[in-house]
Structure 1
């Protein structure tokens, strides 16, 4: 799997992953734990390191029991990408070119009927939907105020939309579109989205206690807001690092993971977006190294670092705070530094 991640991260150079107003501190694990206990990083709930299949650090920073689930917000989108790949692997979903509106029985004409699974996976559809802009018709908080999210998402207006030479439209972060991917999985498989993910992903990895947010009408929020444990995230990260394999069972194909993790949009100097996964760099004792990430509001992050064969997890409740991302990267950087130099290939 390392070569897949290396290919996906080929565009990243050896320099900082994010531009911060203040530099990320160079702390030991003990200094990190002291800072968290003093509240310097807000509400950090849990942090963990898995390397080579072994959990080597795991700590809970509040009074909850270890392993108590935390809402990881949009980091759950990355699991939806895995679910789409499993549905394709199973032959239930024809492929990435599948037209979403016709599949869901909601033909509207152009440009809606041309929106594909690939468009929604890459946050590059014709929908006028941008969670980072409050005035956007598709901004996710507007969806949450409705009873039936499917109706909201399928009735969104279109934006000006031109595909590039690779067939991609311009990036626009759209949770409503990712919610529709869950509806696609349901239509293709004939199973509720959460039941399908449980059967195909969570059960084989012995993950329990995960819970998805639902609309008032009972729809599963496949666009994130997944409450899940740190141990579950370590397992999912390990499965991806191991090329989709878990204890001898192929959970999702290597071919899908290679596609899923290949960057499609450059969003910052060294920040890329692929298919509901992020690609960036993390500082280590060996310099800056590529990482592929699940990332959500509050600084909730899971980082796969192939050069260290490691999975790093930070769970927080720093929701909607300006300092949240920096604090999350502070935890990840400290965890990675604790592993020392990258092992020789």
Structure 2
């Protein structure tokens, strides 16, 4: 006899939202174990877990005061949505491609500042792959471009465009000596400038273009985008989405940028987005603002592409299982955040699908 669905999922079924309680439902024992781990606070500050197979929700649980309508602050997972918007802008002809020169979109800044010729060559792809020559590293509190320094000023765009050229100490790998020819440094200013570029080429606020290019076509009716003090959309973090809507974004990528017969993001761009463009300090692959995580699944190493944000917020893509997994969490700035969300995937969700 099949075990009943979680209470949270049953409530959603009562309101006629699509629920699957048939053969596609994951192993109920694994899901009960997951719920017990969350209830006992073994897994801390988890807000939602959602598993979708073939575009259909097969498990959905909400915890610690969240429900299906909660807008989750996914922090830097927003960067992955910004990368999708870059692809959409390329697809609709507003952006010529990833080789477009960033400073060309800000002529007023260039006219007033002496920009180093090496920085004048910065491309959209450099921003996407976190491999600009700006001295900007959010992992280094001494970095001139550290995001916390940007946040305390009122002109974030000028802050980013005026960053100095990074130097390479003898123990640091230069771009030419780095995997994929790129020296990776995680820099939120890169993603913020991507949002500014999108606003220039589309003539729309970033939130409006997101609604036009992605959210409305995907059926996403509620979201929240932040803006900088000067009013530029924040493409680097803090966007809020419902769990099911995060799964829709993941499904779009899993399906090569196509949704219900419409190509929202070019397929070749999605392929590049989920291809190693740089190597992060922890050994993960990094594409276009998407992470290629090196995880152990069933005792075997596997690369899992994902949106990832502070607090343990994830959208995992699982092409072999035809699945998307969403974990939202408020364990912000805690060392447990990412390990426990990855554990939910490898210890509970993936085994439940076997």
Would you say the 8 A contact 1:74–1:295 is kept in 2? yes
Would you say the 8 A contact 2:180–2:278 is kept in 1? no
Counterpart Cα distance in 2 of 1:306 and 1:215? 36
Aligned residues: 314
Larger displacement relative to structure 2 (30-39 or 69-78): 30-39
Structure 1 or 2, whichever has the larger Rg, is 2
TM-score by length of 2: 0.84
2:278 to 244, 254, 265: 265
1:89 aligns to what?
91
Q: Do the aligned partners of residues 134 and 269 (structure 1) sit closer, same or farther apart at CA in structure 2, a change above 3 Å counting?
A: closer
Would you say the 8 A contact 1:283–1:337 is kept in 2? no
- Within the alignment, does 1:133 sit opposite 2:140 as a pair? yes
Deviation at 1:37?
1.2
Counterpart Cα distance in 2 of 1:127 and 1:200? 30
Counterpart Cα distance in 1 of 2:100 and 2:190? 14
Q: Do the aligned partners of residues 123 and 268 (structure 1) sit closer, same or farther apart at CA in structure 2, a change above 3 Å counting?
A: closer
Counterpart Cα distance in 1 of 2:350 and 2:121? 43
- Within the alignment, does 1:164 sit opposite 2:173 as a pair? no
Would you say the 8 A contact 1:289–1:305 is kept in 2? no
Deviation at 1:288?
4.5
1:241 to 254, 260, 276: 254
Larger displacement relative to structure 2 (78-87 or 283-292): 283-292
Counterpart Cα distance in 2 of 1:272 and 1:167? 10
User: After superposition, where does 1:127-206 map in structure 2 within 5 Å?
Assistant: 127-160=134-167, 163-164=175-176, 168-206=181-219
Would you say the 8 A contact 1:127–1:159 is kept in 2? yes
Deviation at 1:280?
2.4
User: After superposition, where does 1:203-218 map in structure 2 within 5 Å?
Assistant: 203-218=216-231
Give the structure, 1 or 2, with the largest relative contact order (CA under 8 Å, sep 6 or more).
Answer: 1
2:265 to 252, 274, 278: 252
Deviation at 1:278?
0.8
Would you say the 8 A contact 1:128–1:156 is kept in 2? yes
Counterpart Cα distance in 1 of 2:313 and 2:338? 8
2:353 aligns to what?
339
Would you say the 8 A contact 1:279–1:293 is kept in 2? yes
Counterpart Cα distance in 2 of 1:155 and 1:98? 19
Would you say the 8 A contact 2:48–2:66 is kept in 1? no
Larger displacement relative to structure 2 (155-164 or 30-39): 155-164
- Please list every run of 5 or more consecutive structure 1 residues that lacks an aligned counterpart in the other structure: 1-26, 341-345
Counterpart Cα distance in 1 of 2:283 and 2:190? 25
- Please list every run of 5 or more consecutive structure 2 residues that lacks an aligned counterpart in the other structure: 1-28, 169-173
Counterpart Cα distance in 2 of 1:269 and 1:138? 20
Deviation at 1:167?
7.6
Q: Greater share of helix residues, 1 or 2?
A: 2
SS in 2 for 1:115: coil
2:51 to 23, 35, 49: 49
User: After superposition, where does 1:275-286 map in structure 2 within 5 Å?
Assistant: 275-285=288-298
Would you say the 8 A contact 1:209–1:228 is kept in 2? yes
Counterpart Cα distance in 2 of 1:183 and 1:269? 29
2:240 aligns to what?
227
Deviation at 1:286?
8.3
Counterpart Cα distance in 2 of 1:148 and 1:38? 45
Counterpart Cα distance in 1 of 2:82 and 2:147? 17
Deviation at 1:92?
1.0
Deviation at 1:283?
4.4
Deviations 1:234-275 (A, max 9, x none): 111111111111111111111110111111223367621111
1:60 aligns to what?
62
Would you say the 8 A contact 1:120–1:181 is kept in 2? yes
